[in-house]
């Protein structure tokens, strides 16, 4: 009987600090310019891996999510490594679904990062990126985390240097926005718009973000092209947006993440975030709405988290050369 190797993974959510949709491409996807950012809100995935003659997956998931990306990611990772195993998952979902927070994509990436370490195999990051892109447009981002520019359909990723770990407030509404529907309703307006001002404004945003290393300070230059289309589809979301704006100081920007429906604000101080949180919580929100506090997790924080949660299974940092310590993804101590 083979040994079972287990780990408990925090699978972080993301926000889009900025998101510009340029035009529809021939393959049906839209050309994007976005800045992805991991945040501390997380699902918890317990995984237990046992080498076996025949592959078998089980998942214990309170919400019974159909066609769970965790299983599809596990299947593609095992195929790529040419191993068979019994893999048991337990998912504790905390990231609201259909909210633009990337929960499903993050779960898939967590599985792609963890299984090779538990199995004692190495899959290079380029290979993982390919497997991730086949599962969903946001999956490749979570293989690196931190702050990154996404181009193309969102899968062409360029990591940015660390920014400050600022506090944020999230406002979720229970309104489920279908990604494909959001793109479709936006798409009708895109043909008449020129892309060059969008690219210029995206450049101004990223330049400001890098000059200040503060998403709070840069937020005045940010945009999310989905906002007006999605607010048109869901007027109650626009009302929530207006309420959150009113609760914040004038200089502060409220943004929607992805194609919605979660709204967020990046603050430069915890005290101001907590003040706005109290105003929103006392304001009689409807019962599906939730106000959540979190903070930005930069690239260093993301790697630290992964080193901690796979600590027992990765090769000891002390035995590695300085160059190897920078290696990503993490290397399994069972690798042969
Ligand atoms: O890749 P993912 O499964 O996340 O995409 C869901 C849907 O969102 C796609 O089928 C497509 O309609 C739309 N989409 C798009 N352009 C992108 C990403 C997604 O049109 N860059």
Domain extents in the chain: 4-161, 167-297
**What tokens were used for 234?**
């869901």
**34 CA to centre of ligand 1 in angstroms:** 14
Q: Which atom of ligand 1 is the closest one to the Cα of 105?
A: 4
Q: What is the mean pLDDT of the chain?
A: 94
Q: If you measure from the C-alpha of residue 161 to the centroid of ligand 1, how many angstroms do you get, rounded to a whole number? A: 27
What architecture is domain 4-161? 2-Layer Sandwich (3.30)
pLDDT confidence of residue 325: 64
**pLDDT in the model for residue 287:** 85
Quick check: 322 pLDDT over 80? no
**Does the pLDDT at position 149 exceed 80?**
yes
Q: State pLDDT tens for residues 239-289.
A: 999 999 999 999 899 999 999 999 999 999 999 999 999 999 987 788 889
How close is the Cα of 13 to the center of ligand 1, in Å?
Answer: 18
Task: Give the model's confidence band at 192: pLDDT under 50 very low, under 70 low, under 90 confident, else very high.
Answer: confident
pTM (2 decimals)?
0.96
Mean pLDDT of 72-100: 97
167-297 has the same fold as 4-161? no
> Looking at ligand 1, which atom is closest to the CA of residue 152?
21
pLDDT for position 189: 83
Assigned token pair, 254: 């409220």
Indicate which residue's Cα is closest to atom 19 of ligand 1.
29
Catalytic residue positions?
14, 138
Which residue's alpha carbon is nearest to atom 10 within ligand 1?
Answer: 180
Pairing of strands 85-92, 4-24: unpaired
| Closest C-alpha residue for ligand 1 atom 7 | 180
Q: What is the mean pLDDT of residues 47-52?
A: 98
Q: Does the pLDDT of residue 148 top 80, yes or no?
A: yes
Residue that is written with structure tokens 């450049």 in the block: 203
Nearest CA to ligand 1 atom 14: 29
Q: Does residue 315 surpass a pLDDT of 90?
A: no
Kindly state the DSSP code that residue 313 receives in the 8-state scheme. Answer: G
Residue 35 pLDDT exceeds 90: yes
Pairing assessment for the beta strands 263-266 and 255-256 based on DSSP bridges: antiparallel
Q: Is the predicted pLDDT of residue 324 greater than 80, yes or no?
A: no
Q: Which atom of ligand 1 is nearest to the CA of 137?
A: 1
Using most ligand atoms within 8 A of CB, pick from 183, 186, 187, 258 the residue to mutate for ligand 1. 183
**pLDDT tens-digit series, residues 201-254:** 999 999 999 999 999 999 999 999 999 999 999 999 999 999 999 999 998 999
pLDDT of residue 1: 66
Q: Say what the alpha-carbon torsion angle 179, 184, 185, 187 is, to the nearest 10 degrees.
A: 120
pLDDT for res 193: 78
Give distance in angstroms: CA of 184 to centre of ligand 1: 10
Phi then psi for residue 269, to 5 deg, are: -140, 150
How far, in Å, are 17, 110, 133, 314 from residue 113 at the CA level?
Answer: 24, 5, 14, 12
CA of 180 to the centre of ligand 1 (A): 6
b/e burial code for range 206-218 (CB count within 10 A of at least 16 → b): bebbeeebbbbbb
Q: Which atom of ligand 1 is nearest to the CA of 187?
A: 20
Measure the CA–CA gap between 221 and 207, rounded to whole angstroms.
Answer: 10
Distance from the alpha carbon of residue 29 to the mean position of ligand 1, in angstroms: 6
List ligand 1's pocket residues with C-beta within 6 A. 29-30, 32, 136-138, 153-154, 179-180, 183
CATH code of domain 167-297? 3.30.70.890
Probe ligand 1: pick from 108, 137, 176, max atoms within 8 Å of CB?
Answer: 137
Residue 140 has pLDDT above 80, yes or no: yes
């Amino acid at each position: 009987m083979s040994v079972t190797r287990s780990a408990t993974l925090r699978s972080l959510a993301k926000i889009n600090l900025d998101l510009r949709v340029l035009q529809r491409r021939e393959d049906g996807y839209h050309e994007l310019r976005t800045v992805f950012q991991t945040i501390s809100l997380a699902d918890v995935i317990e995984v237990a891996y046992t080498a076996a003659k025949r592959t078998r997956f089980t998942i214990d998931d309170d919400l019974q999510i159909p066609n769970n990306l965790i299983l599809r990611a596990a299947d593609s990772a095992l195929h790529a490594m040419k191993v068979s195993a019994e893999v048991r998952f337990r998912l504790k979902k905390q990231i609201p679904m259909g909210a633009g927070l990337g929960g499903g994509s993050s779960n898939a990436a967590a599985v792609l990062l963890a299984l090779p370490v538990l199995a004692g195999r190495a899959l290079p990051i380029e290979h993982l990126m390919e497997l991730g892109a086949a599962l969903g447009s946001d999956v490749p981002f979570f293989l690196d985390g931190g702050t990154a520019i996404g181009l193309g359909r969102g899968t062409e990723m360029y990591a940015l240097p660390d920014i400050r770990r600022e506090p944020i407030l999230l406002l979720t509404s229970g309104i489920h926005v279908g990604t494909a529907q959001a793109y479709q309703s936006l798409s009708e307006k895109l043909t008449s718009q020129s892309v060059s001002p969008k690219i210029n404004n995206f450049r101004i945003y990223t330049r400001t973000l890098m000059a200040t290393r503060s998403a709070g300070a840069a937020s005045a230059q940010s945009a999310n092209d989905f906002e007006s289309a999605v607010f048109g589809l869901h007027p109650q979301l626009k009302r929530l947006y207006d309420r959150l704006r009113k609760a914040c100081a004038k200089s502060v920007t409220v943004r929607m993440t992805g194609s919605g429906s979660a709204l967020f604000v990046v603050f430069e101080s915890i005290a101001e975030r907590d003040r706005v949180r109290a105003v929103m919580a006392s304001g009689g929100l409807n019962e599906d709405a939730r106000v959540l506090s979190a903070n930005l997790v930069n690239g260093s924080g993301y790697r630290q988290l992964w080193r901690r949660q796979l600590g027992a299974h990765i090769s000891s940092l002390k035995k590695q050369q300085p160059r190897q310590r920078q290696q990503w993804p993490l290397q399994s101590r069972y690798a042969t």
